[in-house]
Amino acid sequence: MDDEEVARLYCMRELKILAKKYGIVTRRVKKIDIVKAFPPQFLAELKSKGR
């Protein structure tokens, strides 16, 4: 599963909540930009969970 598929699985509201925990800016950005800004360990966790 790549970054684009992860961005499609989660809605923006969910991603914003997760991004706040890591200090990622969420204003005026696309979902894919938020997903790419996640730390590699957390991104691997999102990919494995896959909803």
Ranges of residues in the chain whose predicted pLDDT is under 50: none
pLDDT reported for residue 27? 94
Coil, helix or strand at residue 18: helix
pLDDT reported for residue 1? 84
pLDDT reported for residue 38? 97
pLDDT reported for residue 50? 75
pLDDT reported for residue 51? 65
Residue with tokens 């923006």: 12
| DSSP code per residue over 1-51 | --HHHHHHHS-HHHHHHHHHHHT---TT--HHHHHHHS-HHHHHHHHHH--
d(CA 28, CA 2): 22
- Counting the structural domains of the chain, the total is 1
Domain span at residue 19 reads 3-49
pLDDT reported for residue 19? 97
